Protein backbone atom coordinates (compact mmCIF):
# COMPACT_ATOMS: atom_id res chain seq x y z
CA UNK A 1 0.00 0.00 0.00
CA UNK A 2 1.34 3.42 -0.93
CA UNK A 3 1.20 6.23 1.61
CA UNK A 4 1.32 9.53 -0.26
CA UNK A 5 1.91 12.77 1.59
CA UNK A 6 -0.90 15.31 1.28
CA UNK A 7 -0.54 17.40 -1.87
CA UNK A 8 0.11 21.12 -1.50
CA UNK A 9 -2.80 23.06 -2.98
CA UNK A 10 -1.66 26.06 -5.05
CA UNK A 11 -4.59 28.47 -5.35
CA UNK A 12 -5.21 31.54 -7.44
CA UNK A 13 -6.86 34.37 -5.47
CA UNK A 14 -9.32 36.35 -7.63
CA UNK A 15 -11.98 34.27 -9.34
CA UNK A 16 -10.93 31.18 -7.40
CA UNK A 17 -11.19 31.98 -3.68
CA UNK A 18 -12.76 35.43 -3.84
CA UNK A 19 -15.00 37.27 -6.29
CA UNK A 20 -12.93 38.85 -9.05
CA UNK A 21 -13.70 42.58 -8.94
CA UNK A 22 -10.96 43.45 -11.41
CA UNK A 23 -8.15 45.41 -9.80
CA UNK A 24 -9.29 45.03 -6.18
CA UNK A 25 -8.04 47.99 -4.16
CA UNK A 26 -10.48 47.94 -1.23
CA UNK A 27 -10.23 45.20 1.43
CA UNK A 28 -13.85 45.95 2.33
CA UNK A 29 -14.98 44.52 -1.02
CA UNK A 30 -13.49 41.08 -0.35
CA UNK A 31 -16.14 38.44 -0.84
CA UNK A 32 -15.62 34.68 -0.80
CA UNK A 33 -16.94 32.70 -3.73
CA UNK A 34 -19.63 30.10 -2.93
CA UNK A 35 -18.19 27.00 -1.23
CA UNK A 36 -14.66 28.44 -1.17
CA UNK A 37 -14.33 28.28 2.61
CA UNK A 38 -15.79 24.77 2.74
CA UNK A 39 -13.23 23.59 0.18
CA UNK A 40 -10.35 25.25 2.03
CA UNK A 41 -11.49 23.72 5.32
CA UNK A 42 -11.76 20.25 3.77
CA UNK A 43 -8.24 20.40 2.32
CA UNK A 44 -6.89 21.70 5.62
CA UNK A 45 -8.66 19.00 7.62
CA UNK A 46 -6.84 16.38 5.53
CA UNK A 47 -3.42 17.99 5.96
CA UNK A 48 -3.04 19.67 2.56
CA UNK A 49 -0.90 22.83 2.74
CA UNK A 50 -2.76 25.83 1.26
CA UNK A 51 -0.72 28.30 -0.78
CA UNK A 52 -2.06 31.31 -2.67
CA UNK A 53 -0.10 32.38 -5.77
CA UNK A 54 -1.53 35.38 -7.57
CA UNK A 55 -0.67 37.71 -10.44
CA UNK A 56 -1.31 41.27 -9.34
CA UNK A 57 -0.41 43.18 -12.50
CA UNK A 58 -2.41 46.19 -11.34
CA UNK A 59 0.72 47.24 -9.46
CA UNK A 60 2.94 47.10 -12.55
CA UNK A 61 0.26 48.81 -14.62
CA UNK A 62 0.04 51.68 -12.13
CA UNK A 63 -3.59 50.89 -11.23
CA UNK A 64 -2.89 49.65 -7.71
CA UNK A 65 -0.23 50.43 -5.15
CA UNK A 66 1.78 47.73 -3.43
CA UNK A 67 0.22 48.89 -0.15
CA UNK A 68 -3.30 48.38 -1.53
CA UNK A 69 -2.54 44.80 -2.62
CA UNK A 70 -0.89 44.07 0.72
CA UNK A 71 -3.93 45.45 2.57
CA UNK A 72 -6.28 43.24 0.52
CA UNK A 73 -4.07 40.20 1.14
CA UNK A 74 -3.84 40.95 4.88
CA UNK A 75 -7.64 41.21 5.07
CA UNK A 76 -8.01 37.95 3.15
CA UNK A 77 -5.74 36.18 5.64
CA UNK A 78 -7.71 37.67 8.55
CA UNK A 79 -10.99 36.52 7.02
CA UNK A 80 -9.78 32.98 6.31
CA UNK A 81 -8.32 32.71 9.81
CA UNK A 82 -11.60 33.93 11.33
CA UNK A 83 -13.33 31.18 9.33
CA UNK A 84 -10.98 28.54 10.74
CA UNK A 85 -8.64 28.28 7.75
CA UNK A 86 -4.89 28.80 7.89
CA UNK A 87 -3.23 29.82 4.62
CA UNK A 88 0.32 28.44 4.72
CA UNK A 89 1.75 30.95 2.25
CA UNK A 90 0.67 33.85 0.08
CA UNK A 91 2.83 34.96 -2.87
CA UNK A 92 2.12 37.43 -5.65
CA UNK A 93 3.73 38.86 -8.76
CA UNK A 94 3.49 42.68 -8.91
CA UNK A 95 4.70 43.01 -12.49
CA UNK A 96 2.90 43.98 -15.70
CA UNK A 97 2.39 41.16 -18.23
CA UNK A 98 5.05 42.52 -20.60
CA UNK A 99 7.76 42.92 -17.94
CA UNK A 100 9.44 39.59 -18.70
CA UNK A 101 9.73 38.71 -15.01
CA UNK A 102 10.21 35.15 -13.78
CA UNK A 103 7.47 35.33 -11.16
CA UNK A 104 4.33 36.00 -13.23
CA UNK A 105 2.18 32.90 -13.70
CA UNK A 106 2.52 30.68 -15.62
CA UNK A 107 6.20 31.03 -14.65
CA UNK A 108 7.02 28.75 -11.73
CA UNK A 109 9.29 30.94 -9.59
CA UNK A 110 6.75 31.79 -6.87
CA UNK A 111 5.69 28.15 -6.47
CA UNK A 112 9.34 27.06 -6.30
CA UNK A 113 9.95 29.69 -3.59
CA UNK A 114 6.90 28.44 -1.69
CA UNK A 115 8.05 24.83 -2.06
CA UNK A 116 11.49 25.67 -0.66
CA UNK A 117 10.01 27.59 2.29
CA UNK A 118 7.16 25.18 3.06
CA UNK A 119 8.91 21.92 2.10
CA UNK A 120 6.63 20.41 -0.53
CA UNK A 121 7.23 18.86 -3.94
CA UNK A 122 5.72 21.12 -6.64
CA UNK A 123 5.12 18.12 -8.93
CA UNK A 124 3.08 16.52 -6.12
CA UNK A 125 0.69 19.44 -5.85
CA UNK A 126 -2.67 20.59 -7.16
CA UNK A 127 -2.95 23.93 -8.96
CA UNK A 128 -6.42 25.46 -8.84
CA UNK A 129 -7.43 28.60 -10.70
CA UNK A 130 -9.81 30.22 -13.15
CA UNK A 131 -7.41 31.44 -15.85
CA UNK A 132 -5.27 29.84 -18.54
CA UNK A 133 -2.10 30.90 -16.69
CA UNK A 134 -3.13 28.77 -13.71
CA UNK A 135 -3.58 25.68 -15.88
CA UNK A 136 -0.29 26.31 -17.69
CA UNK A 137 1.43 26.72 -14.31
CA UNK A 138 0.11 23.28 -13.33
CA UNK A 139 1.46 21.82 -16.57
CA UNK A 140 4.89 23.35 -16.09
CA UNK A 141 5.06 21.96 -12.56
CA UNK A 142 3.76 18.55 -13.75
CA UNK A 143 1.07 18.94 -11.09
CA UNK A 144 -2.64 18.23 -11.21
CA UNK A 145 -4.51 21.22 -12.66
CA UNK A 146 -8.10 22.19 -11.88
CA UNK A 147 -10.00 24.94 -13.66
CA UNK A 148 -12.72 26.69 -11.65
CA UNK A 149 -15.38 27.36 -14.25
CA UNK A 150 -19.14 27.14 -14.64
CA UNK A 151 -18.92 26.50 -18.39
CA UNK A 152 -15.55 24.79 -18.91
CA UNK A 153 -13.83 27.91 -20.27
CA UNK A 154 -11.01 29.85 -18.66
CA UNK A 155 -12.00 33.29 -17.32
CA UNK A 156 -9.54 34.96 -19.70
CA UNK A 157 -11.26 33.34 -22.68
CA UNK A 158 -8.30 31.21 -23.70
CA UNK A 159 -8.67 27.52 -24.48
CA UNK A 160 -7.13 25.21 -21.86
CA UNK A 161 -6.93 21.52 -21.09
CA UNK A 162 -6.97 21.14 -17.31
CA UNK A 163 -6.95 17.75 -15.66
CA UNK A 164 -10.33 18.64 -14.11
CA UNK A 165 -12.98 21.34 -14.48
CA UNK A 166 -14.71 22.13 -11.18
CA UNK A 167 -17.56 24.40 -10.20
CA UNK A 168 -15.93 25.56 -6.97
CA UNK A 169 -13.27 24.80 -4.37
CA UNK A 170 -15.44 22.31 -2.53
CA UNK A 171 -15.65 20.14 -5.64
CA UNK A 172 -11.89 20.58 -6.15
CA UNK A 173 -11.21 19.45 -2.58
CA UNK A 174 -13.41 16.37 -3.01
CA UNK A 175 -11.52 15.44 -6.20
CA UNK A 176 -8.18 15.89 -4.44
CA UNK A 177 -9.27 13.62 -1.61
CA UNK A 178 -10.60 11.01 -4.05
CA UNK A 179 -7.25 10.98 -5.87
CA UNK A 180 -5.42 10.61 -2.55
CA UNK A 181 -7.67 7.70 -1.59
CA UNK A 182 -7.01 5.99 -4.92
CA UNK A 183 -3.24 6.46 -4.45
CA UNK A 184 -3.39 4.90 -0.97
CA UNK A 185 -5.20 1.90 -2.46
CA UNK A 186 -2.69 1.68 -5.31
CA UNK A 187 -5.29 2.54 -7.95
CA UNK A 188 -4.77 4.88 -10.91
CA UNK A 189 -5.72 8.47 -10.02
CA UNK A 190 -7.92 9.13 -13.06
Q: Does the annotation mark 130 as catalytic? A: no
3-state SS string for the chain = CCCCCCCEEEECCECCCECCCCCCCCHHHCCECCCHHHHHHHHHHCCCCEEEEEECHHHHCCCCCHHHHHHHHHHHHHHHHHCCCCCCEEEEECCCHHHCCCCCCCCCHHHHHHHHHHCCCHHHEEEEECCHHHHHHHHHHCCEEEEECCCCCCCCCCCCCCCEEECCHHHHHHHHHHHHHHHHCCCCCC
Of 12, 130, 134, 163, which residue is the catalytic one?
12
Of 14, 130, 134, 163, which residue is the catalytic one?
14
Q: Does the annotation mark 168 as catalytic? A: no
Positions marked active-site: 12, 14
Amino acid sequence: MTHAAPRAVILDRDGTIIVDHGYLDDPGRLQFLPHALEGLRLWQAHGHPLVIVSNQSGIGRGMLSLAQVQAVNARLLQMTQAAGVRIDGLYFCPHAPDSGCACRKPATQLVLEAAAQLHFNPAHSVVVGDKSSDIELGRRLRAISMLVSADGRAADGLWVEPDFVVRDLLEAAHLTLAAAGAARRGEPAG
